[in-house]
Structure 1
Amino acid sequence: AGAAAEARFISSAKGKGLFATKNIRKGETVFVERPVVSSQFLWNALYNYRACDHCLRALETAEENAQRLLGKSSLVLPHPEQCSIRKDLHQQCPRCQVMYCSAECRQAALEQYHQVLCLGPSRDDPTHPLNKLQEAWRNMHYPPETSSIMLMARMVATVKQAKDKEWWIKAFSQFCNKTANEEEEIVHKLLGDKFKGQLELLRLLFTEALYDEHLSRWFTPEGFRSLFALVGTNGQGIGTSSLSQWVHACDALDLPMLQREELDAFIDQLYKDIEK
């Protein structure tokens, strides 16, 4: 069977769209792809939601996820075998201690961008240019978050590390672009009424942390605005939750009626308690 959907170019204004090539059943996986770059939301990371620094897969178990959300360390989830998190596979960068879900993700990050962005012993140094950039972003873009300045940082780092820099620059340029007025609207949505002053501050901090002559246009006021709008237009927020994956796995269990009712009641009450 062929793919359930395919990407097609729509227009320069809309970019590419995803079109079904056949009838799609409920629950069917339409397609799977790896992002060009990804990054955890900065407030999300500050609130100690542990995720792989490369693929964003949850690093905490379903039970740890529920305990954190409830503020209840004594909580025990039934059917722990339904949790898919494999802590024995987790690895960290030996220099800056950021965590990955696997050796494959650690290596992929190292080969694509992490050599440039690794903070080493300066991870907790507030005066490091990258930390200053992230702190400025958090002070401008409060939850609920819709983007991250670190997506742009990883784009720059990817080009800086690449042997074929032009290939990556061309790849990023293929994403949907906007007019100057549309770019301002997007930046305004992300940063609010003070966006022009905030955008310039971000540009200066971004330049201090990451300037590269191959990408000099991205560091000009116009180029930085375009890069910012490109991420705002093409970026996609995703949620990764080991708890929701555990619930989904529990839903698929073949249990006697009484056990099924007890488990469903437990899960319903768990979500109610989390929402309080």
Structure 2
Amino acid sequence: MAASMPANVEVQFINESKGRGLFARQEIKEGEAILDEKPLVSTQFLWNELYKYTACEYCLRSLETAEAMARRLTNNPALSLPHPECCALDPSEFVVCPQCQVLYCSEECRKASWDRYHQILCLGSSHHDSDHPLLRLQEIWRNIHYPPETASIMLICKMIAMVKQAEDPGHVITIFNKFVNNTVNEEEQIAHKLLGDQFKCQLELLRSTTAEILFDESIPQWFTPEGFQSLFALIGTNGQGIGSCSISVWVKNCEDLELPEDKKTELDDFIDQMYEELEKESGSFLNCEGSGLYELTSSCNHSCDPNAGITFPHNNHVLTLVALKPIQPEEEIYISYISECEMSRSRHSRQKILRENYLFTCRCRKCDFEADEPDVTSEEEMDSGDEDGSEKMDNL
């Protein structure tokens, strides 16, 4: 279950305040894949699932054809994509759980899910019963955590189910305990933004409902108010966003086609027009999105000027860490914990996001270089406003 360490990197302990870091053991060239990693656990976001983004329950592979996804997201049922051979889906390989009809991309994923956690979480014949406790928990989550989601209560449920199903629960608990799960950075007096008094009732409802369904005597500490808050902080500070998309796979495969120049131009124009329609109808909400816990990649510390980036080139939950710059032996490997859009904001805005979500004040080279800039929040953040945060859990 634990991730194997590639030969080109190693995890080192840095100090008490910074914790661990991922370091290069050999020279890594720009554009080179540093490692591939499967998550210990992953899950699709519940709003994505409700909006009919069909994905494999285990690996999050997008299970709509590119054409079906494009028709749904452009709201154009007559849309026809050229070169259907570039859609790499084979529905004949799809399987369902015979008890609850949950969909998987393959028998391999169905078995992996069943062996790890699904025996506990399978709804059986109650998969359409809205009163089932697990479906009720999911509805509670959706009612208090609106899109864009950055985590899911199902990630916590799957963690608990993995412990309950494990032959050696202590081993699974030890692996999850490796993740940083502080709810408060006492040294800097920073608390996770979801753990304030305004969310007390919401967290208690989630905790009590989760305990009603999944309480286990081997991990009673996870079901106390403090322990449940710690789980929230764990998935909030360590959860890695995952995106899969049949349209993206189709576009990439189209780019590799050997076509006459005029046909290539015609195809490029079609793709550009399709993306304009997708943007107009669905905005940036295009992927089958979810979240996962990655043991090795979670060792990477943040920088606002990272030397590595995370990609999902396999249309599933397998993460690839790619060098954005040449990396020398013994050099620490940094990623960005915030989005590309957030990276373009002011130093003050970036640090506000990082303090609220990851419980630290960034002191990377970029932040140090911009230290003399005024502490003014970026205009785009002021426009989006923070006033709605007191009513719902917008982001972890």
Instruction: Name the TM tier (shorter chain).
Output: over 0.9
Distance between the aligned counterparts of 2:92 and 2:18, measured in 1?
A: 43
Shift of 1:25: 3.4
State how far apart, in whole Å, the 2-side matches of 1:4 and 1:269 are: 42
2:110 is matched with 106
2:87, 2:246 within 8 Å by CA — same for their partners in 1? yes
Say whether residues 1:273 and 2:277 are aligned partners: yes
Q: Which amino acid aligns with 1:131?
A: L
Indicate the structure with greater helix content. Answer: 1
Return the match for 1:54 from 18, 43, 58: 58
Runs of 4+ that moved beyond 3 A: 2-21, 179-185
Instruction: Indicate yes or no: 2:29 matched with 1:24.
Output: yes
Whichever residue aligns with residue 150 of structure 1, its letter is M
- If each structure's strand is expressed as a fraction of its own residues, which one has the higher value? 2
Kept in 1: contact 2:126–2:132 (CA 8 A): yes
Query: Residue 204 and residue 79 in structure 1: after superposition, are their counterparts in 2 closer, same or farther (change >3 A)?
Result: same
Deviation at 1:233, TM superposition (A): 0.8
* Offset at residue 129 of structure 1 (A): 1.2
CA distance in 2: counterparts of 1:84 and 1:9, whole angstroms: 42
8 Å CA contact 1:38–1:151 kept in 2: the answer is yes
Pick the aligned partner of 1:144 from 148, 164, 172: 148
Q: Secondary structure at the match of 1:262?
A: helix
Aligned to 2:200: 196
Q: Name the CA distance, whole Å, in 2 between partners of 1:265 and 1:192.
A: 49
How far is 1:135 from its partner? 0.6
| RMSD, aligned CA | 2.0
Q: Residues 183 and 233 of structure 2 are in contact (CA less than 8 Å); yes or no, is this contact kept in structure 1?
A: no
Report the alpha carbon displacement of residue 184 of structure 1 after superposing the two structures with TM: 8.1
Number of the residue aligned with 1:258: 262
- Tell me the equivalent position of 1:161: 165
Aligned counterpart for 1:175 among listed residues 174, 179, 182? 179
Distance in 2, Cα, partners of 1:184 & 1:106? 41
Q: Which residue of 2 is the match for residue 230 of structure 1? A: 234
The amino acid that maps onto 1:72 is N
Give 1:159 deviation, angstroms: 0.5
Q: Distance in 2 between matches of 1:270 and 1:5?
A: 41
**Residue 98 of structure 2 corresponds to residue 68 of structure 1:** no
The answer (yes or no) to whether the contact 1:7–1:19 under 8 Å persists in 2 is yes
1:107-122 mapped onto 2 (5 Å cutoff): 107-122=111-126
Q: Provide the TM-score with structure 2 as the length reference.
A: 0.65
Taking a change above 3 Å as real, the CA distance of residues 104 and 212 of structure 1, as seen in their structure-2 partners, is same
Q: Name the amino acid aligned to 2:76.
A: K
Shift of 1:7: 4.1
Counterparts of 1:113 and 1:264, CA distance in 2: 43
Displacement, 1:14? 4.6
Q: Higher relative CO (CA 8 A, sep ≥ 6), structure 1 or 2?
A: 2
Q: Which moved more, 1:59-68 or 1:173-182?
A: 173-182
Partners of 1:19 and 1:41 lie apart in 2 by 31
TM-score by length of 1: 0.92
Q: CA deviation at 1:17?
A: 3.6
Aligned equivalents of 2:19, 2:101: Cα separation in 1: 38
Per the TM alignment, residue 15 of structure 1 is displaced from its structure 2 partner at its CA by: 4.6
Instruction: Give, as a single letter, the amino acid of the residue that structure 1 aligns with 2:202.
Output: Q
Please say if residues 13 and 178 of structure 1, whose CA atoms lie closer than 8 Å, have aligned partners that are also in contact: no
Asked whether 1:185 is paired with 2:191, we answer: yes
Asked if the contact 1:5–1:22 (Cα under 8 Å) also holds between the matched residues in 2, the reply is: no
Distance in 2 of aligned mates of 1:89 and 1:8: 42
Structure 2 letter corresponding to 1:185 = A
Residue type of the partner of 1:60?
E
Q: Is the 8 A contact 2:183 2:229 kept in 1?
A: no
Q: CA deviation at 1:102?
A: 0.4
Any idea what SS the aligned residue of 1:31 has?
strand
Given that 1:12 and 1:176 are in contact with CA atoms closer than 8 Å, whether structure 2 keeps it comes out as no
Which ranges in structure 1 are unaligned for 5 or more consecutive residues? none
Match of 2:85 in 1: 81
CA contact (8 A) 1:63 1:76 kept: yes
Give the number of equivalent residue pairs.
272
> In the alignment, which residue of structure 2 is the partner of 1:247?
251
